[in-house]
Amino acid sequence: MFDVTRSFYKSSPSYGGMLYAWFPSMHTRTDIILCGKQTKKELLLVVDAIYERLSYIEKLGNCYDADSELARLNRVAALRPQPVSCELYDMLAFCMDCHTRTDGFFDITVHSENYTPSTISGIQLSSEAHTLFFQHSGININLSGFLKGYALESIRELLQLYGIEDALVNMGNSSILALGHHPLATGWRIGFEQGFVSNKGEKQEVLLKNECLTVSGNDSLERKHIIAPYSGKLIEGKWMVAVVTESGAVGEILSTAWFAADTYQQKLLEMEFHPRLILKLC
């Protein structure tokens, strides 16, 4: 259950109530701002629902949690076809489809043993039996480049269910959902550090409304954590990319793929996924 001491509430005659809450989730910090005519108690119930939903998603798809469904599948799916829950199956099917749509620049198997660009072809998903099978040992599915974006879409559904029209959800400053408006402004204005430049010439901040912003890349010369699918090597250098899309799940995949792609392929990715905006750290 969400710790209510990690929250702050303010009411105003002009815009009703605003609740700010935060908690650790998915190996990062999640910050939430909810605005509306709901009471403090009602808004806290929404935050608690979000907290429980994120905890559930982690138990499905966090490969680093030995007790998660995905971690178990990684251990045993090479032995025989394994049953998969409906939600995780849909996640995997979506990611497999996006591997094709990104021409291989998004690949959930890059952390596999003896990885090659063809490793993902060893995954068999049965739509009829709802099972997963690895054709050979050593395959490891990692959803880190997708899971937070998927979580944003799940949060969006919860907010709609509870009638929240104005909200900002920030997961680790790298996955952001903006709905409606800030109480005293139009949309939600997100700032960037010096050096970010968009493909439309805009700099250092972006106005979000009913859309998501996702960031991928290295924030220092020392940090390198994204693997280039065509080489199997970590991408080095201080460089990040941020994309603005309607869907957080699509944005997470696009930013990961765009970061790994060359200039020609980046153009193809933009044509395939139609982001509203792409910003990169120069």
pLDDT digits (tens, 9 = 90+) for 198-227: 555 555 689 999 999 999 876 655 555 677
Q: Look at residues 116, 134, 152 and tell me which one is the last residue of a structural domain.
A: 134
Please answer whether residues 225 and 260 qualify as being in contact, where contact means their C-beta atoms are separated by less than 8 angstroms.
no
Please answer whether residues 186 and 209 qualify as being in contact, where contact means their C-beta atoms are separated by less than 8 angstroms.
yes
H helices of the chain, in order, are 40-61, 69-76, 86-101, 147-161, 248-260, 263-273
Tell whether 168 and 213 lie within a shared domain.
Answer: no
Domain span holding position 195: 187-282
The pTM score is 0.91
Output the CA angle 49-174-180, nearest 5 degrees: 55
Tell whether 148 and 43 lie within a shared domain.
Answer: yes
| pLDDT tens digit sequence for 112-150 | 999 999 999 999 999 999 999 999 999 999 999 899 999
Please answer whether residues 251 and 149 qualify as being in contact, where contact means their C-beta atoms are separated by less than 8 angstroms.
yes
| pLDDT tens digit sequence for 13-55 | 777 899 999 999 999 999 999 999 999 999 999 999 999 999 9
Into how many domains does the chain fold? 3
Tell whether 81 and 50 lie within a shared domain.
Answer: no
Tell whether 55 and 73 lie within a shared domain.
Answer: no
Tell whether 127 and 221 lie within a shared domain.
Answer: no
- How far CA 119 is from CA of 19, 134, 260, 279, in Å, comes to 46, 10, 17, 31
Q: How far apart, in whole angstroms, are the C-alpha atoms of residue 181 and residue 198?
A: 23
Tell whether 198 and 150 lie within a shared domain.
Answer: no
Tell whether 122 and 252 lie within a shared domain.
Answer: no
Tell whether 6 and 29 lie within a shared domain.
Answer: yes
Please answer whether residues 248 and 212 qualify as being in contact, where contact means their C-beta atoms are separated by less than 8 angstroms.
yes
Tell whether 209 and 273 lie within a shared domain.
Answer: yes
Tell me the backbone φ, ψ of residue 9, rounded to 5 degrees: -125, 140
Tell whether 39 and 107 lie within a shared domain.
Answer: no
Token reading at 265: 């392929």
Domain harbouring 51, CATH code: 3.10.520.10
Tell whether 108 and 174 lie within a shared domain.
Answer: no
Tell whether 50 and 160 lie within a shared domain.
Answer: yes
Q: How far apart, in whole angstroms, are the C-alpha atoms of residue 250 and residue 262?
A: 19
